Chains A and B, each alone.
Chain A
């Protein structure tokens, strides 16, 4: 049972926009801790996609964007492409657990 809740899967056709939600609580996202997002391709390590709620590391396309409001955050992917098929994880910090916490992951499927 992950501390942050994500939908197990989302799907979309090439070119479409999909969003992934990440729901937390008053001890993590709601406590103003930043949310970060990772992309994990099959059989590889997670890769940083968004840091500090809405910042993209160099090399990450601007098709990926993040937002945060209240106790939730979202990752949006626009212009969906075949190589966006991957698992996506959100991460924040939890004051009750005194450590980083992750979501259970969302599998993105390109139809």
Chain B
């Protein structure tokens, strides 16, 4: 079955960076874009950006530009999201999610990874 498995919870200090991984299985990795979405406590989801697993082309939400990097490794079917200059407001659960339509950047999100809690605290 199609599955996205993320790395474990992280605790970081303000100003640090965090890198979250998302390993895909059960489908042809190169055929589907991957989104990153975060959800702060008690809030709705917030789209962060998207990566094409082939060639690493990316697009980010404006509020994250300059602070986020997304990469992919086709040899391990894994995508990564790195967020730098962390502040307390970045405390959230970070999800990767596969785009619902093959070979297209726009659509629905299905499935989602299990989520990675990132806590930013001094």
> Which residue from A36, A52, A105 sits with its C-beta under 8 Å from B44?
A105
Counting CB contacts under 8 A, is A48 at the interface?
A: yes
Q: Is the interface of A mostly helix, strand, loop or mixed?
A: strand
Counting contact residues on chain B (CB < 8 A from A), the size range is: 20 to 34
> Which residue from B43, B45, B61, B112 sits with its C-beta under 8 Å from A47?
B112
Counting CB contacts under 8 A, is A45 at the interface?
A: yes
Q: What is the interface size of chain A, counting residues whose CB is below 8 A from a CB of the partner? A: 23
Most buried by A among B44, B112, B115: B44
Chain B residues engaging chain A, CB cutoff 8 angstroms: 35, 43-47, 49-50, 59, 61-62, 95, 100, 106-115
Chain A residues engaging chain B, CB cutoff 8 angstroms: 2, 34, 36, 38, 45-48, 51-52, 57, 89, 91, 93, 97-105
- 5 A-B pairs besides A38-B109, A57-B110 with CB distance below 8 A are A36-B108, A38-B45, A45-B95, A51-B107, A51-B108
